[in-house]
């Protein structure tokens, strides 16, 4: 009975089984001879490991801020191929992957954690903010709010990062040119630390100090005054730059106006420069909005309102949203001499970042 017959029928005699073993042995001998002819080398396991580690060391780069962190720009297959070119020893990319795992290498993405600059009073400013939050937390009638402007978006059939549930492909423009946008989305947020509630105003023009003022007035007259009817002051936490920059006199001008019109004083604390990520609204509200809107095409303003308005969490965060159609002119200046300095009382420590504006 031939081997072919055995393969087709699945039946074999003892003689056929012995014959099959002979074929296998002959095949293995042939493969070994072929490898030898091809000039491929074999190596002891421990020796191969050391040679691979030495080769990996030639292709690694180090972190400029942490001596214990290294990375490699080549894939497993590329390393295996280059190792063969370098040493003549053929190894599988699986072997390379296993060794790299042992050495602590994993596929990782960069994290934006290194500050782009240094502020001399960074730690001291954080301590001041923590103390003020703790003090006002005890006083239940005093609101503590965090404000900021989220990343601006373009309106129209344009690509957005992320993915969402869909019954078919979501088609958008193959380029994200500015002229293809139907408008701009400027989301400004106010986050109430006590009630864990977010208030979002969707602007359609620019982020300015007046824009911040109007959004604060909307929050206070529609919600804040009813939640805190006995409030004498508001602790306002914000970044050091942008429309609420501590360097801009125009921001102080509009905050003076807010305090005057509401009859409520403001205690304003700016997070240190290069530390905006620690502003509570960033990790308590904006991160959830980012998740809720991932992959959704902002084809019109109603879609923006509906999507952001549906933001929720298991801990009970709620989002109230409105459209702000007002046009805001950029480049507005304010003469420092025109500010009512008698109503601005600076904190004895780091006065440029901490001050009280009297009603």
The contacts of residue 295 (CB under 8 Å, 6+ apart) are 160, 161, 162, 163, 164, 170
Q: Are both 87 and 129 inside the same structural domain?
A: no
User: C-alpha 255: how far from its chain's center?
Assistant: 30
How high is the pLDDT of residue 117? Answer: 82
User: Residue 266: inside a domain, yes or no?
Assistant: yes
Give dist(CA 151, CA 158) in Å, integer: 15
Provide the domain count of the chain. 2
Q: What is the rounded average pLDDT for all residues in the chain?
A: 87
Is the four-CA dihedral 249, 253, 259, 262 of positive or negative sign? negative
User: Residue 200: inside a domain, yes or no?
Assistant: yes
Q: Are both 81 and 152 inside the same structural domain?
A: no
How high is the pLDDT of residue 11? Answer: 54
328: domain range?
124-163+177-357
Q: Are both 53 and 129 inside the same structural domain?
A: no
User: Residue 33: inside a domain, yes or no?
Assistant: yes
Q: What is the DSSP letter of 282?
A: I
Note the pLDDT tens digit of each residue in 174-205: 988 888 999 999 999 999 999 999 999 999 99
Q: Are both 69 and 148 inside the same structural domain?
A: no
Grade residue 258 by pLDDT with cuts at 50, 70 and 90. very high
Of 3-7, 145-149, 278-282, least confident by mean pLDDT is: 3-7
Q: Is the pLDDT of residue 92 over 60?
A: yes
Note the pLDDT tens digit of each residue in 49-67: 999 999 988 888 887 767 7
User: Residue 171: inside a domain, yes or no?
Assistant: no
User: Residue 56: inside a domain, yes or no?
Assistant: yes
How high is the pLDDT of residue 38? Answer: 45
Q: Is the pLDDT of residue 9 over 60?
A: no
How high is the pLDDT of residue 147? Answer: 98
Q: For residue 235, what is the domain's CATH number?
A: 3.30.420.10
How high is the pLDDT of residue 36? Answer: 47
Q: Are both 181 and 77 inside the same structural domain?
A: no
Note the pLDDT tens digit of each residue in 312-327: 888 888 999 999 999 9
Instruction: Please calculate the CA angle 50-56-60 and round it to the nearest 5 degrees.
Output: 145
User: Residue 59: inside a domain, yes or no?
Assistant: yes
Give dist(CA 40, CA 21) in Å, integer: 26
Grade residue 330 by pLDDT with cuts at 50, 70 and 90. very high
User: Residue 83: inside a domain, yes or no?
Assistant: yes
Grade residue 107 by pLDDT with cuts at 50, 70 and 90. confident
Q: Are both 86 and 151 inside the same structural domain?
A: no
């Amino acid at each position: 009975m031939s081997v072919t017959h055995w393969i087709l029928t699945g039946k074999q005699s003892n003689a056929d089984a012995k014959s099959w073993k002979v074929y296998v042995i002959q095949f293995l001998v042939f493969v070994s001879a072929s490898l030898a002819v091809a000039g491929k080398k074999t190596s002891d396991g421990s020796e191969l490991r050391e040679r691979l580690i030495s080769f990996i060391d030639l292709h690694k780069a180090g972190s400029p801020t942490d001596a214990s962190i290294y990375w490699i720009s080549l894939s497993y297959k590329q390393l295996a191929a280059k190792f063969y070119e370098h040493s003549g020893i053929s190894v599988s990319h699986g072997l390379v992957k296993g060794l790299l795992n042992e050495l602590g290498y994993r596929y990782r993405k960069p994290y934006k954690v290194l500050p782009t600059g240094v502020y001399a009073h960074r730690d001291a400013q954080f301590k001041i903010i923590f103390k003020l939050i703790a003090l006002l937390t005890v006083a239940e009638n005093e609101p503590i709010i965090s404000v900021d402007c989220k990343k601006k978006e373009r309106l129209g059939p344009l690509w957005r990062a992320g993915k969402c549930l869909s019954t078919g492909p979501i088609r958008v423009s193959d380029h994200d040119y500015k002229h293809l946008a139907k408008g701009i989305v400027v989301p400004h947020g106010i986050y109430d630390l006590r009630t864990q509630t977010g208030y979002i105003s969707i602007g359609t023009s620019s982020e300015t100090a007046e824009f911040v003022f109007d959004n604060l007035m909307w929050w206070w007259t529609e919600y804040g005054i009813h939640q805190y009817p006995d409030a004498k002051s508001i602790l306002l936490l914000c970044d050091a730059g942008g429309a609420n920059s501590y360097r801009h006199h125009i921001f102080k001008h509009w905050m003076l106006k807010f305090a005057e019109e509401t009859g409520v004083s403001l205690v304003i604390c700016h997070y240190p420069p290069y530390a905006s990520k620690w502003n509570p609204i960033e990790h308590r509200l904006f991160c959830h909005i980012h998740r809720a809107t991932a992959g959704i095409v902002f084809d019109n303003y109603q879609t923006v309102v509906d999507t952001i308005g549906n933001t929720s969490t298991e801990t009970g965060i709620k989002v109230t949203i409105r459209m702000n159609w007002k046009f805001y002119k950029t480049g507005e200046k304010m003469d420092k001499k025109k500010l009512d300095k008698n109503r601005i009382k600076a904190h004895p420590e780091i006065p440029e970042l901490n001050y009280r504006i009297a009603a």
